[in-house]
Amino acid sequence: MKKKILVTGGTGYIGSHTVVELQNSGYEVVIIDNLSNSSADVVDNIEKVSGIRPAFEELDCLDYAGLDALFTKYPGIEAIIHFAASKAVGESVEKPLLYYRNNLVSLINLLDLMPKHGVGGIVFSSSCTVYGQPDVLPVTEKAPIKKAESPYGNTKQINEEIVQDTVASGSPINAILLRYFNPIGAHPTALLGELPNGVPQNLVPYITQTAMGIREKLSVFGDDYNTPDGSCIRDFINVVDLAKAHVIAIDRILNGKQKEKVEIFNVGTGRGLSVLELIHIFEESTGVKLNYQIVSRRAGDIEQVWADPAFANEELGWKAEATIEDTLRSAWAWQLKLRERGIQ
């Protein structure tokens, strides 16, 4: 019998790619999502990609009674991958309570209900944002946690602590916290990808929308940083590679391979690329010219961060594989597909 995994936020960007990888690896998936930043037709596209339709329930993780009923309706869930969260840094500064409520209470509800329903494992979506500007690069999991730059970032830090404290209290839960760097790209079929609401905040959706003519010009936020070309440096991780890390984390929990009850892994490529480098690679690998201009720095940006993924490479046997060129081409193919579908 297939092992059953609950994926919260499973119609979202990283969630949908992960559902497909779980299905490809023989897991049965139940998705819950409140559709606040995604749509139910993602379930159709998941089915087109994997050939399997996952169970889907529209449900908010803030709804404790609803979650309780969900675990009763789908007995035998063995582990959860918890993606569902609000994730816009700027919005979190304006609406901190929305962020604290959504992101903290959702996790609390799940951790609270897991023992009652015999769910033993959870993989949590954390972020490299917990490192702030690291003193040493590439950054390892042992680097100190810096004061968060935004309420969003703070929710990731607090949620890591909530998991640690819950497990330390003796709750029968095994957890893996995955600290993502900058996920980009789309599924090679162009059936799944990132669909930002309104004006994109993140770099790659802004690049592809500018290339498409939806946005007039890309603004590069700062070229006076202490980096070789003056623009910020990030570790851009392909979303399918990232999705695969989740499947490995689930396998590891369910097969009792963990060395600690809570483990933390960086999920990045180990390669830092500047914003300007990324723009040029996009232009070269797609053949599309980008209209861009340098503007002043964006408040709250970290100058440079990239992962030391050695621990994930060795312990999980996971490694980022996609080339940056293929990844950017996949983002562009997804943008073209959206136009075909009349979405943007």
24/201 with CB nearer ligand WQD? 201
Neighbours of 32 (CB within 10 A): 25
Query: Does 182 sit near ligand WQD (CB under 6 A)?
Result: yes
At its nearest, how many Å lie between ligand WQD and the CB of residue 178?
Answer: 12
211/232 with CB nearer ligand WQD? 232
At its nearest, how many Å lie between ligand WQD and the CB of residue 253?
Answer: 23
Interface with ligand WQD (CB under 6 A), residue from 124, 131, 206, 318: 206
Catalytic residue among 152, 180, 206, 225: 152
Sequence-distant (6+) residues with CB within 8 A of 98 are 86, 91, 92
Query: Does 203 sit near ligand WQD (CB under 6 A)?
Result: yes
State yes or no: cis peptide before 138, omega within 30 of 0: yes
93/113 with CB nearer ligand WQD? 93
Cα–Cα distance for residue pair 327/232, rounded to 1 Å: 19
At its nearest, how many Å lie between ligand WQD and the CB of residue 29?
Answer: 22
109/125 with CB nearer ligand WQD? 125
- If we measure between CA atoms, which residue out of 62, 29, 72 comes closest to residue 47? 29
Contact 258, 291 (CB under 8 A): no
Could you tell me how far CA 116 lies from the centroid of its own chain? 28
At its nearest, how many Å lie between ligand WQD and the CB of residue 199?
Answer: 9
Residues in contact with ligand WQD, shown as a per-residue x/- string from 27 to 56 under the rule CB under 6 A:
------------------------------
C-alpha to C-alpha distances, 17 to 30, 53, 125, 183, 283, nearest whole angstrom: 14, 14, 14, 11, 25
Name the segment binding ligand WQD (CB under 6 A); options: 60-68, 74-82, 161-169, 215-223: 215-223
Query: Does 148 sit near ligand WQD (CB under 6 A)?
Result: no
168/299 with CB nearer ligand WQD? 299
Q: Please report which residue ranges of 78-215 form alpha helices under DSSP H.
A: 89-94, 96-100, 106-113, 151-168, 203-212
At its nearest, how many Å lie between ligand WQD and the CB of residue 61?
Answer: 17
Residue with tokens 């490995």: 248
Interface with ligand WQD (CB under 6 A), residue from 16, 92, 106, 129: 129
Which 8-state DSSP code applies to residue 115?
T
Neighbours of 287 (CB within 10 A): 9
At its nearest, how many Å lie between ligand WQD and the CB of residue 127?
Answer: 4
Q: Which two tokens stand for residue 23?
A: 């299905």
Tell me if residue 206 is catalytic: no
- If we measure between CA atoms, which residue out of 124, 87, 108 comes closest to residue 13? 87
Interface with ligand WQD (CB under 6 A), residue from 95, 261, 298, 337: 298
Which 8-state DSSP code applies to residue 128?
G
What residues from 51 to 110 belong to the interface with ligand WQD (CB under 6 A)? 87, 89
8/129 with CB nearer ligand WQD? 129
Name the segment binding ligand WQD (CB under 6 A); options: 41-49, 55-63, 199-207, 252-260: 199-207
Interface with ligand WQD (CB under 6 A), residue from 82, 179, 187, 234: 234
Sign of CA dihedral 68, 70, 74, 80: negative
C-alpha to C-alpha distances, 183 to 98, 267, 339, nearest whole angstrom: 24, 9, 22
**One-letter amino acid identity for 98?**
L
Name the segment binding ligand WQD (CB under 6 A); options: 3-11, 54-62, 217-225, 283-291: 217-225
Query: Does 220 sit near ligand WQD (CB under 6 A)?
Result: yes
Q: Which two tokens stand for residue 137?
A: 């690069």
- Please give the residue ranges that form the binding site for ligand WQD (CB under 6 A): 87, 89, 127, 129, 182, 201-203, 206, 218-221, 232, 234, 275, 298, 301
Question: Which amino acids are annotated catalytic?
Answer: 152
